[in-house]
């Protein structure tokens, strides 16, 4: 017989590449450095959206947005609904299911099975978050609730893998970008340096990028204005199933 005390919840690890000073904890000052000592060229890093628990169990720890799956909705619908209702995040450019966490002891009380999702928000978006919700650098997570830190690790690994063999970066990038801006997004998401010239060559060979014909303003040092590009597709597709972007030797 089914366990009448079993509840099914949906959790989403929402990532965005954000400038370091903007990755703040609720009620705290800005984070000014990475916990792993790594820095990317653009002063940006991958951040995850978390809310702080006001009640026990584990009051004061930080949780991924989510909640109980309704009887009248599928899991993807539930994930999008709860992001909109609970943390007012609606501009999710990519959402995909990750794993199911079903350890009977993962939370106290009634058994709670979690279906987890990866969500990506593009760089220009700046959702108006509730007071108990904030972006945190993935490299310097606060004290996490239950197994939510493990969910973040799974989501980060999935994103890093897909950056190698798909065009998933379209969901992190603005509509138009220079190659240096796109490199900074890749560096932040991967956690290590990527050469802009090599990245451009690889992505062009896979027909991932399209030149817009526009240019960005020159930098302070002057010089030729950088060309702007966009992603050819606004949906996920495999570009090279055997490819792997590796950290520098």
- Give the pLDDT confidence score for residue 97 in this predicted structure: 97
Name residues whose C-beta falls within 8 Å of residue 221's C-beta, 6 or more positions apart in sequence: none
Q: What does each of the 249 residues of the chain score in pLDDT, given as a tens digit?
A: 444 589 999 999 999 999 976 434 444 433 333 333 343 445 899 999 999 999 999 999 999 999 999 999 999 999 999 999 999 999 899 999 999 999 999 999 999 999 999 999 999 899 999 999 999 999 999 999 999 999 999 999 999 999 999 999 999 999 999 999 999 999 999 999 999 899 999 999 999 999 999 998 876 666 789 999 999 999 999 998 767 677 766
| CATH class of the domain whose range is 166-231 | mainly alpha
The pLDDT assigned to 27 comes to: 40
Output the pLDDT for position 24.
45
pLDDT at 218: 73
Give pTM, 2 decimals: 0.88
- Each as own residue / partner, the long-range contacts of residues 96-102 (CB below 8 Å, 24 or more positions apart, any chain) are 96/158, 96/236, 98/13, 98/151, 98/154, 98/155, 98/158, 99/151, 99/154, 101/147, 101/150, 101/151
pLDDT at 30: 35
Q: How many CB atoms lie within 10 A of CB 7?
A: 14
Give buried/exposed letters for 138-171 (b at 16+ CB in 10 A, else e).
bbebbebbbbbbebbebbbebbbebbbbbbbbbb
The residues spanned by each domain of the chain are 7-163, 166-231
Cα angle, residue 95 at apex, residues 45 and 212 outer, rounded to 5°: 65
Per-residue pLDDT at 206: 94
Q: Where are the beta strands (DSSP E) in 53-192?
A: 62-63, 66-68, 94-101, 112-120, 133-137
Architecture of the 7-163 domain: Alpha-Beta Complex (3.90)
């Amino acid at each position: 017989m089914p366990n009448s005390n079993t509840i099914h919840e949906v959790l989403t690890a929402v990532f965005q590449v954000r400038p370091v000073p903007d990755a703040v904890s609720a009620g705290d000052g800005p984070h000014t450095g990475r916990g792993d000592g790594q820095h990317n060229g653009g002063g940006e890093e991958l951040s995850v959206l978390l809310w702080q628990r006001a009640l026990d169990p584990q009051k004061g720890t930080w949780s991924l947005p989510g909640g109980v799956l309704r009887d009248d909705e599928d899991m993807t619908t539930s994930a999008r609904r709860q992001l909109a209702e609970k943390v007012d995040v609606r501009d999710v450019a990519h959402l995909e299911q990750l794993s199911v966490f079903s350890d009977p002891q993962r939370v106290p009380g009634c058994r709670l099975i979690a279906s987890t999702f990866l969500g990506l928000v593009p760089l220009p978006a700046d959702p108006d978050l509730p007071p108990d919700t904030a972006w945190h650098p993935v490299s310097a997570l606060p004290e996490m609730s239950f197994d939510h830190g493990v969910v973040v690790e799974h989501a980060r690994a999935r994103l890093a893998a897909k950056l190698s063999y798909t065009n998933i970066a379209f969901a992190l990038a603005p509509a138009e970008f220079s190659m240096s801006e796109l490199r900074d997004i890749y560096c932040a998401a991967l956690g290590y340096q990527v050469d802009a010239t090599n990245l451009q060559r690889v992505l062009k060979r896979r027909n991932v990028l399209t030149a817009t014909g526009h240019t960005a303003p020159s930098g302070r040092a002057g010089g030729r204005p950088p060309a702007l590009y966009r992603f050819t597709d606004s949906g996920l597709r495999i570009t090279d199933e055997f490819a792997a972007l590796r950290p520098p030797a």
